[in-house]
Structure 1
Amino acid sequence: MPLFRRRRSLKKKAPPSNAAPPDRRLEEVRHTDMSGRLEEVVRVINGLLGDNDDFVMRELRIFGRHPAVIFYYSNMVDQAGINSDVLKALMYPPPQFREEAAPRGRLKEVILCDALHHTEVKLESDLASLVEGVLRGQAVIAVDGIDEAYVVNTRSILKRSIDTPATEQVIRGPREGFIELLGTNLSLIRYRLQTCDLRIKSMELGRRTQSKVAICYLEGVVSPDLVKEVNRRLSQVDIDAVLDSGYLEQYIEDNHYSPFPQVQYTERPDKVVANLLEGRVAIMVDGSPLALLVPTVFNQFYQTVEDYTERFLLMSAIRLARLVALVFSLIFPSLYVSIISFNPELIPTEFAVAVAGGRAGVPFPAIVEVLVMEVSMEVLREATIRLPQQVGGALSIVGVLVVGQAAVAAGFASPITVVIIALTTIGSFATPAYNAALALRLLRFPLVIMAGIFGLYGVMIGLILIANHLLSLKSFGVPYLSPLVPGNFQGMKDLIARAPLWWMWRRPSFLFTGDKHRVDESTIDYVQKPSNDVLDPLKFKEDRKER
């Protein structure tokens, strides 16, 4: 027994915080400054990076006099830029120093201010920082006799073109989506948000990947406490690699065991800008086309960009249909199982006869029938996603028709069950956010099991537990069901139905923003005034008679 207890305690023991650095040789030269000897720089950098076929170490003479070496990775830089803006510029002296050589004491300043034809150049003396610069795609120039090296941002990596977002397509709205390069994504945000209040702070996360993470927010709008909390949570993340923004999402969310997402992701720049204007913070990772938005509330997951680009009456009706589909996708199978198994008297007589006739040859109880069909649909859906796009569409249609018809013909399922599962699947497709739809798909199974055991009581107990869990969730301190609970009248204008834009003149109160107004009072007064009928036919009665 003591041995068993000891093993359990060992399993629960946290990993040591003082883990060994990923690259011990690099850490040995960290905080070691250059001495001005070119041989020492060549020895250190070549010793760390030289055993690579794409590593280039090119010797040259600055202005034909001073020995120097340039280091870079050939596949990560702009070769034409290095040849014209760096090598050619350094080999030939500037016009003012062609007749008289530059003084040795001013050589560092002359190279930086007069010779290099590049905007992004900085001086660095730490040897480890020089190596990390080369790893990031920069070119490092070390000159004999100078105790600092020149780090030139020559990074050039092939990228895909900006295209329509694959996961968030709209009929009316911008067609641009984020790509993998962080610089391009930030430019898409600045293009739409041309204000001095936009703040972009960056940090590097991942001991081995050194992934650049950008934190975007609007100063004067966002709550300073929210920015501090985002920085605090991100600074606590010390892992080997950050390959996608989804890695960070799992570390910074409040409840790690909830099926409901507490961080929203998007690949649409306009959606990021809209959330920044509401007082949220966006987190972007270099190498990921998906931005994270915090804090997040539940109603964000059934809203789309078109809700605000189209007129409010039409979009309110469509949003209501979306909510009905969301309810269908969650409780329809469990309601069917509970009514068929425990309360068939709730079904109208004519419909009950049709249901009984359809289930006449099915040997399984309703719960087994529904679970088998649900699992089959989940497997088919996953197969459709993983297959190539040209094959996936055909498989989804043919697979549903063949599997459904074959299940009915073989007696594994009744026609009404196939209809219920089809409506449920279509309802889950109508949920705009994939991660929220995935949570509802997951919760369907325990609801069906509880319905098969306890009937309608089980469905109600399950829904009460889900509602209680939603009420307990928070995202960076914001209640998950805001603005419904706690109630806020101004926020409810954009909850179930979408009110006119000029009615939503305040930013969400639960974000505690600095600037609370987003629509000026003069604009509200102008919209509410009667329209000016400039071309009213009655005004031009005389002109019409003359014509």
Structure 2
Amino acid sequence: MRTWSENYKSYKREHRASSATEPNDADDNASGDKKPLLTLGVSLSDNLTAIQERIGANGDMTIRQFHIAGHCQAALVFFSSMTDQKGIQENILKPLMLWRGAEARKSPAQDALLSEDVLIDLLWNEAIYINEGLKCTELDKILDLISSGYVILLLDKSDEGLAFAMRQIEKRGIEQPQTEQVIRGAREGFIELLDTNLSLIRYRLQSPDLKIETAPLGERTRSRVAVCFIEGIADPTLIEEVMRRVAKVDFDGIIDSGYIEQFIEDQPLSPFPQIQNSERPDKVVAALLEGKIVIMVDGSSFALIVPALFEQFFQTIDDYSERFIIGSLIRIIRVVALLFSLFFPAFYVSVISFNPELLPTNFAVAISGARAGVPFPAVLEVLIMEVSMEILREATIRLPQMIGGALSIVGVLVIGQAAVSAGLASPITVVIVALTTIGSFATPAYNVAIALRMLRFPLVLLAGMFGMYGVMIGTILIFNHLLYLESFGIPYLYSLITPKRAWASDTVFRAPIWWAGRRPGYLHPVDGTRLPNGTSKSYLDAIFKGKETRDEQETNHSHDPSGNRDS
């Protein structure tokens, strides 16, 4: 199994684009220089002793010694908690103990075949019922394979071992994603096993052009990381850049895909995410078909999609499953809710504190009467209510589902009413904070919703100090920051600097599917056309055309005066 540094170097040799930049040679040397590895000896007992000393005391480590063909000493080494016990007995242990190929070859002309150096090849070709296996001689590699769930076969008087893929891990069933609920769409999501997740992708994208590069990552965890892309669509320069960044990740433990996200993103200090995550296979396949790259980690149910622009975080599968008019309407509502949750509290504070003349007279008098008994200024009142709502929301998330639902109802109704009755907040402030919280729930991406919740507090402070000028200053700073951001070299607000037709095709509005004849230009796809041969014709057109031709021929034959017809 190759490392990510070897994966990146191999891809650079085979697919390097002419416009790609050269990686730092010092980094390549640092990743390639390794200390020499210890190799196996010819003594089985010494090899088993060395493995036991390196692994140490482990209650689930199993060493099964036996004889092959009645004379050759052998041993299987594996972790019982990570391997298929029944498969080992039926497909490895039983065939090896019953194998008599060596006895059939006992003749002076074939004595060389009985040597232990050739015996491993004979066992692999004649006795083992396993599809995946490899030879190994390095002790460190054998230890890594054992820790990954492989079964190692060692023979006496042989310095080679055979490793069989017999990993078996208990897994949960495929369920509907909890963080990306849809009304109309698939009801299955990723789980923690990488192989199962890759199968869900290949089930939807049955093309030989789908390429998956896998390698272990993490000095201690050795977690398998997969980079997925469609060859012939994805830009080779983008593929190389993604693999280069993943290869530079140097950390002892990769527990979740979020670890990799923090290492490879462009601006780690920005509150806005530059990499999209999803646990929906259909969403991942749609991104691959656009020419994007997907990163998956064994043990994580979230896939990373790169590059990611700002508008992607308020788009859902429902937008494309429904007709474009309904999809556009829902998306517009979602964008309005996003802006509402960010600016509404600051706008309220600025109007109440500095510019009450912007309100109708009757409404301003009603607000002043409601706030008559509140001892705090508007900015402090809003901040107290916002902090209380954030605490209540965090407590609701961490509690069990049944208790969390009851707590949210109690918090919204009882605590809000009690705060108004005690004079700690005015009714209009409770309404403003409640509407703001509901608007933040309409944002599909959790990480973007958190970013907006963070930026809401400095906007309220600026509004409390400078009024509408403070709101405008905060808005300009946020917008400039978004213009500065990039995701793998692509501007974060790319859709705002594109021509009008491209901006309106799939941002705030969702254009009809039949308009999507080309893939996004900012990805520089190798094949930018999504329709066959660049036209709107499909395979059904050819069928209908052939049927019309046959109907015309039958009509012509029926009007033939001679009455002759072709057979």
TM-score by length of structure 1 reads: 0.89
In the alignment, which residue of structure 2 is the partner of 1:152?
A: 164
State the AA in 1 paired with 2:114: R
Equivalent AA in structure 2 for residue 153 of structure 1: A
- Separation in structure 2 between the aligned mates of residue 438 and residue 304 of structure 1, nearest angstrom: 18
Aligned to 1:534: none
Q: C-alpha offsets along residues 519-538 of structure 1, whole Å, 9 cap, x if unaligned?
A: 2454269999xxxxxxxxxx
Tell me the SS of whatever aligns to 2:513. Answer: coil
C-alpha distance in structure 2 between counterparts of 1:187 and 1:339, whole Å: 55
Aligned to 1:115: 127
Deviates more, 1:36-45 or 1:149-158: 36-45
Distance 1:99 1:286 in 2: 45
**Is 1:244–2:256 an aligned residue pair?**
yes
Measure, in 2, the Cα distance between the counterparts of 1:130 and 1:165. Answer: 37
User: Aligned residue for 1:369?
Assistant: 381
Aligned to 1:501: 513
Give distance in 2, aligned partners of 1:126 and 1:345: 80
Which of 270, 275, 290 is 1:258 aligned to?
270
The Cα of 1:49 is off from its aligned counterpart by 2.1
Deviations 1:445-467 (A, max 9, x none): 00000000000000000000000
Name which of 457, 460, 474 aligns with 2:472: 460
Aligned position for 2:58: 52
Instruction: State the partner residue of 1:33.
Output: 39
In the TM superposition, what is the alpha-carbon distance from 1:148 to its structure 2 partner? 1.0
**Equivalent residue number for residue 554 of structure 2:** none
The partner residue of 1:425 within 437, 445, 453 is: 437
Equivalent residue, structure 1, for 2:551? none
SS at match of 2:528: coil
Counterpart selection for 2:293 from 263, 278, 281: 281
Matched, 1:136 2:162: no
CA distance in 2 between counterparts of 1:336 and 1:277 reads 44
Q: What letter matches 2:292 in structure 1?
A: R
1:104 aligns with 2:114: yes
CA contact (8 A) 1:479 1:485 kept: no
Structure 1 counterpart of 2:314: 302
Residues 304-327 of structure 1, C-alpha deviation per residue, up to 9 Å, x if partnerless?
011101111011111100011000
Deviations 1:6-63 (A, max 9, x none): xxxxxxxxxxx9xxx9xxxxx98x5222232212211211112241111111101112
- CA deviation map 1:264-320 (0-9, x unaligned): 000001111000111110000010000001000000000001110111101111110
Q: What is the letter of the counterpart of residue 64 of structure 2?
A: R
CA drift of 1:236 comes to 1.0
Spell out the pairing of 1:203-222 with structure 2 (5 A cutoff). 203-222=215-234
Which residue of 94, 112, 120 maps to 1:88?
94
Aligned-pair distance for 1:83?
A: 0.6
Equivalent in 515, 523, 545 of residue 536 of structure 2: 523
Which range moves more in the overlay, 98-107 or 287-296? 98-107
After superposition, the Cα gap between the structure-2 partners of 1:374 and 1:59, relative to the gap in structure 1 and judged at 3 Å, is: same
Compute the TM-score of the two structures, normalised by the length of structure 2: 0.86
* 1:183-221 residue CA offsets vs partner (Å, 9 max, x unmatched): 111111111111011010012211111111100001111
Whether the 8 Å contact between 1:209 and 1:242 is mirrored in structure 2 is yes
Amino acid at match of 1:44: A
CA shift, 1:488, in A, is: 6.0
Q: CA deviation at 1:354?
A: 1.6
Taking the aligned partners of 1:50 and 1:440, their CA distance within structure 2 comes to 50
**1:443 maps to which of 438, 455, 459:** 455
Contact 1:181 1:287 in 2 (8 A): yes
SS at match of 2:515: coil
For residues 379-421 of structure 1, give each alpha carbon's deviation from its aligned partner in whole angstroms, at most 9, with x where no partner exists. 0000000001111111111111111101110101111101100
Maintained 8 Å contact 1:207/1:240: yes
Number of the residue aligned with 1:354: 366
The two structures, once aligned, show a CA RMSD in angstroms of 2.0
- For 1:525-540, list aligned pairs within 5 A: none
Q: Which residue of 1 is the match for residue 348 of structure 2?
A: 336
Counterpart contact for 2:37–2:138, Cα < 8 Å: yes
Inter-partner Cα distance in structure 2 for 1:373 and 1:524: 57
Partners of 1:205 and 1:489 in 2: how far apart?
43
Mapped to 1, the partners of 2:272 and 2:385 lie a distance apart of: 24
Say which of 412, 425, 449 aligns to 1:400. 412
**Contact 1:203–1:213 (CA under 8 A) maintained in structure 2:** yes
| 1:502 aligned counterpart, secondary structure | helix
User: Residues of 2 paired with 1:485 and 1:473: CA distance?
Assistant: 14
For the residue of structure 2 that corresponds to 1:39, the secondary structure is: helix
Output the CA distance in 2 between the equivalents of 1:438 and 1:364.
27
Say which SS state the counterpart of residue 484 (structure 1) adopts.
Answer: helix
Structure 2 residue runs without a partner (length 5+) = 1-26, 542-567
Q: 1:145: how far off?
A: 2.1
Question: Among the aligned pairs, what percent are the same residue?
Answer: 54
- Corresponding residue for residue 189 of structure 2: 177
Pair 1:491–1:117, CA change in 2 (3 A): farther
Cα distance in 1, alignment partners of residues 186 and 293 from structure 2: 21
In the alignment, what sits opposite 2:553? none
1:532 maps to: none
Any idea what SS the aligned residue of 1:442 has? helix
1:409 is aligned to 2:421? yes
Contact 1:162–1:177 under 8 Å retained in 2: yes
Question: Does the aligned pair in 2 maintain the 1:491–1:508 contact within 8 Å?
Answer: no
Give, in whole Å, the separation in 1 of the partners of 2:428 and 2:540.
51
Cα deviation digits, residues 453-498 of structure 1 (max 9, x gap): 0000000000000000000000000000112224463353001110
Give the match's secondary structure for 2:494. coil
Q: Which residue of 2 aligns with 1:7?
A: none
Q: Distance in 1 between matches of 2:208 and 2:226?
A: 17
Q: Which residue of 2 aligns with 1:480?
A: 492
Distance 1:181 1:84 in 2: 25
Q: Is the Cα–Cα contact under 8 Å of residues 479 and 486 in structure 1 kept in the other structure?
A: no
Q: How many angstroms apart in 1 are the aligned matches of 2:131 and 2:484?
A: 51
Q: Deviations over 1:328-374 (max 9, x none)?
A: 10000000000000000110112112211211111111000000000
Aligned-pair CA distance for 1:68: 0.6
Letter in 2 for 1:248: I
